[in-house]
Chains A and B, each alone.
Chain A
Amino acid sequence: MIEVKNLRKVYGKKDSTFEALKGVNFKIPSGATVAIVGKSGSGKSTLMHLMGGLDHPTEGEVVVDGKSIGAMKRKEIDRFRAQDLGFVFQSFFVEGNQTCYQNVALPLEINETGFGSRKKQVESALERVELSEKISNKAKNLSGGQKQRLAIARAIVNNPKLIFADEPTGNLDSATGEKIIQLLFDLTKQNKSTLIVVTHDHELAARCDMQIAIKDGEVVSVEHNQPRSTKPKIARAQKAGQL
């Protein structure tokens, strides 16, 4: 369970201040897939940063499984991110000069996972994103979709409670993007992780269990969708029409 309570974030000082979030409240049940929807500048990225402990709120708090992130010390937040969070970014952020294995092993290195289980975990994560045969290839030689799959493998390798995906399909063509989304949904369901997708793609948002729409730093709507049943085929058709 993630509770966001009266979250406010103000940038700047004195006269030139900008209120990115103006008191946001919502609850996300564990294991849900959630879309945070909004135009650019709406405050959705700020919200994700605060939920991921990357930034401190000006007011209010984020409580994950009963623990307030704001009350944690820096070391605790680091540990929380290393153990409980996974990140997938729009521009992948995979290290081109490193092999797939090395990219996926990064969170395990940060977590100080023992060498014995490390190899097994990396191999299993790569297998789940179907990149097993690329294990010793350099990441720069992968296609865009493969890079994002690699990033997903990195996000799930230590079975986090919570996965943040920031515009995960933004740099991909629609067919590849569709596969990536499907993969993310499948893997988070398998792991019983909570998935939080930041997007301005309404079609993608419609497939999540829950949609939180944000505009000018405020929540304008929280919708609970029907349990996901939309077939990929139909989704693709819809997407083609909308884009």
Chain B
Amino acid sequence: MKFVDTLKRSSRNLRHSKVRTLLTALAIAVGGFTLSITLAAAAGARSYTDKLVKANFDPHSVFVAKDKAFFGDGSNKPREYSTDLASTFGTLLKQFDQADIAKIKQMPHVTQVIANYDLNAQFITRNTPGAKRYTGALTVYDNAQKPEIKAGKAPQTLGDNETLLADDYLSVLKFSSAEDAVGKQVVLQVRQLAGGATQQQMLTVVGVTTKSSLSLGFVNPGLYINETQAASLNSFINGGTPLAGKVPTVVVRGDGASPQDLKQQMQKAGYEARTAQDLQQLINQVISVLQGVIVVFGLITLIASFFGVVNTQYISVLERTREIGLMKALGMSRRAVSRLFMVEATWIGFIGAALGSGLAIGVGIALNPWLTKTLNFGNERLLIFKPLQIIGLIVFLMFVTTVAGLLPARKAAKLDPIEALRTE
């Protein structure tokens, strides 16, 4: 029998038992739906983290810490004392001192080292009467990290008395709008940890930053300041304490050397380093684990539908014993009979997979706006359906049902035409 005839005949058989075909296909569709949604969600999450990492980390930079624990080495053992240890972000970590930074600057290929001082303002306020005072973190400005600007500009470098203000402070500091704040002055006061002396600075706001949907939550900058100023504030605030001149992390940029090479160079010098790519891989690993869990559930539903297809095809063979007997009596080979039933099972897989993934795409289109709003994804879509993945999934499900059709097809092929034709 020609393959076209097999195709036609099997699809005709399925159409004659529409309800049964549809119900069996629905069982496959459940698995198909789960797997399509999972794939789409994982694709969406990957694309989101991809943008997230790109928005938050300059791909050419390498993030260097002196302490392995900074990137989480998972150890809970008591730490050996070292004069490098200092508290930052609430954890005791080995920190860079100025000698370390000087050493890194001397390394080949290194063109720029930005020290991320860990600084806090005593308070931030305005030079207007009755202005209230607010706490806030101070972040070293790095143009390559592209903070999202709401008003004003993101300059190449910040001047000593210039700052970028986070938009969270607009209303509490009584600015009428982001544009209103640009060009105005804010007051920054810092306090010496050891002595208790204070120091005030007037900073001109050159731009207002906003937290985009893509910014990572762990840093909530109050004010951006330039590195020189951060260094001097550090020595004022921490003077006389072990934190003086200490930097938890630095960002290193090279003269065109790949971030991977820079990272290796840093590791050779005994520091811990991560590239933007590493961070992305780390996040993607988490996504992959979550995806794996859901895929396993999808596969379990598939096992159930697998036996559903076996059952349906078995009944179909029993019901059509006479027809099979006739076909065999008329000279149809075992192979052709078996192929007829296998192709039927493949059709069921195709219908189920198309239904499942079609439904998933429909649900995706309907739910995406709501999902992105609820999860605060900004312009990102959570569910991304990739045509190639959908096609791959359909082919996979067709394969699964074909395998399910194997046993019933064998039974059909082995039917004795004489016995079969005696059935009336």
Chain B residue total in the interface (Cβ 8 A): 21
Over the window 49-92 of chain A, the binary record of Cβ atoms lying under 8 Å from chain B Cβ atoms (1 yes, 0 no) is: 10010110000000000000000001100111111010101010
The 9 closest A-B pairs by CB, nearest first: A82-B331, A81-B331, A109-B5, A78-B333, A110-B332, A78-B331, A97-B16, A93-B326, A107-B330
Q: In the complex, A87→B420 CA distance in Å?
A: 15
- Cβ–Cβ contact B332 & A82, under 8 A: yes
Q: Which of B326, B334, B424 has the most CB of A within 10 A?
A: B326
A182 interfacial by beta-carbon distance below 8 Å: no
Q: In the complex, A95→B327 CA distance in Å?
A: 11
- Cβ–Cβ contact B332 & A78, under 8 A: yes
Q: In the complex, A95→B326 CA distance in Å?
A: 10
Q: Which of A54, A82, A95, A110 has the most CB of B within 10 A?
A: A110
- Cβ–Cβ contact B1 & A55, under 8 A: no
B417 interfacial by beta-carbon distance below 8 Å: yes
Cβ contact of B330, chosen from A49, A75, A91, A106, cutoff 8 A: A106
- Cβ–Cβ contact A74 & B334, under 8 A: yes
- Cβ–Cβ contact A79 & B334, under 8 A: no
Q: Which residues on B sit within 8 Å (CB–CB) of A106?
A: 326-327, 330
Q: Which parts of B1-56 form the interface with A (CB within 8 Å)?
A: 1-2, 5, 9, 12, 16
B331 to A, closest residue via Cβ: A82
Could you list which residues of chain A lie within 8 angstroms of chain B, going by C-beta atoms?
49, 52, 54-55, 74-75, 78-83, 85, 87, 89, 91, 93, 95, 97-98, 102, 106-107, 109-112
Assuming the contacts A54-B417, A81-B329, asked whether A109 and B9 have C-beta atoms less than 8 A apart, the reply is: yes
B92 interfacial by beta-carbon distance below 8 Å: no
Q: Which parts of B330-361 form the interface with A (CB within 8 Å)?
A: 330-334, 336
Q: Which residues on A sit within 8 Å (CB–CB) of B336?
A: 110
- Cβ–Cβ contact A93 & B421, under 8 A: yes
Q: How far is the CB of A82 from chain B (nearest CB, A)?
A: 3
Cβ contact of A85, chosen from B2, B331, B334, B418, cutoff 8 A: B331
Q: In the complex, A81→B336 CA distance in Å?
A: 14
A86 to B, closest residue via Cβ: B330
9 residue pairs bridging A and B, Cβ less than 8 Å apart = A54-B417, A74-B333, A81-B331, A83-B331, A85-B330, A93-B326, A109-B5, A110-B330, A110-B336
- Cβ–Cβ contact B331 & A93, under 8 A: no
Q: How far is the CB of B322 from chain A (nearest CB, A)?
A: 7
- Cβ–Cβ contact A110 & B327, under 8 A: yes
- Cβ–Cβ contact B1 & A109, under 8 A: yes
- Cβ–Cβ contact B329 & A87, under 8 A: yes
Q: How far is the CB of A110 from chain B (nearest CB, A)?
A: 5
- Cβ–Cβ contact B418 & A55, under 8 A: yes
Q: Which residues on B sit within 8 Å (CB–CB) of A83?
A: 331
Q: How far is the CB of B159 from chain A (nearest CB, A)?
A: 83
Q: Which residues on A sit within 8 Å (CB–CB) of B327?
A: 106, 110
B422 to A, closest residue via Cβ: A45
Q: How far is the CB of A242 from chain B (nearest CB, A)?
A: 27
Q: Which residues on A sit within 8 Å (CB–CB) of B334?
A: 74
Q: In the complex, A194→B5 CA distance in Å?
A: 30
Q: In the complex, A110→B326 CA distance in Å?
A: 11
- Cβ–Cβ contact B333 & A89, under 8 A: no
B323 interfacial by beta-carbon distance below 8 Å: yes
Q: In the complex, A112→B333 CA distance in Å?
A: 12
- Cβ–Cβ contact A82 & B12, under 8 A: no
Q: In the complex, A106→B340 CA distance in Å?
A: 13
Q: Which residues on B sit within 8 Å (CB–CB) of A82?
A: 330-332
Q: In the complex, A97→B2 CA distance in Å?
A: 21
A106 to B, closest residue via Cβ: B330
Cβ contact of A75, chosen from B2, B329, B333, cutoff 8 A: B333
Q: Which residues on B sit within 8 Å (CB–CB) of A87?
A: 329-330
Q: In the complex, A112→B330 CA distance in Å?
A: 13
B334 to A, closest residue via Cβ: A74
A83-B331, A87-B330, A112-B2 given; name 19 further pairs at CB < 8 Å: A54-B418, A74-B333, A75-B333, A78-B331, A78-B333, A79-B331, A81-B329, A85-B330, A87-B329, A93-B326, A93-B421, A97-B16, A98-B12, A106-B327, A107-B330, A109-B5, A110-B1, A110-B330, A110-B332
Q: How far is the CB of A224 from chain B (nearest CB, A)?
A: 29
Q: Which residues on A sit within 8 Å (CB–CB) of B322?
A: 93
Q: In the complex, A75→B333 CA distance in Å?
A: 7
Q: Which residues on B sit within 8 Å (CB–CB) of A54?
A: 329, 417-418
- Cβ–Cβ contact A95 & B332, under 8 A: no
Q: How far is the CB of B182 from chain A (nearest CB, A)?
A: 77
- Cβ–Cβ contact B323 & A81, under 8 A: no
Q: Which residues on B sit within 8 Å (CB–CB) of A98?
A: 12
Q: In the complex, A89→B326 CA distance in Å?
A: 10
Q: Which residues on A sit within 8 Å (CB–CB) of B5?
A: 109
Q: In the complex, A83→B417 CA distance in Å?
A: 17
Cβ contact of B421, chosen from A78, A89, A107, cutoff 8 A: A89
Q: How far is the CB of B178 from chain A (nearest CB, A)?
A: 73
Q: Which residues on B sit within 8 Å (CB–CB) of A75?
A: 333
Assuming the contacts A54-B417, A109-B9, asked whether A91 and B331 have C-beta atoms less than 8 A apart, the reply is: no
- Cβ–Cβ contact A52 & B332, under 8 A: no
Q: Which residues on A sit within 8 Å (CB–CB) of B333?
A: 74-75, 78
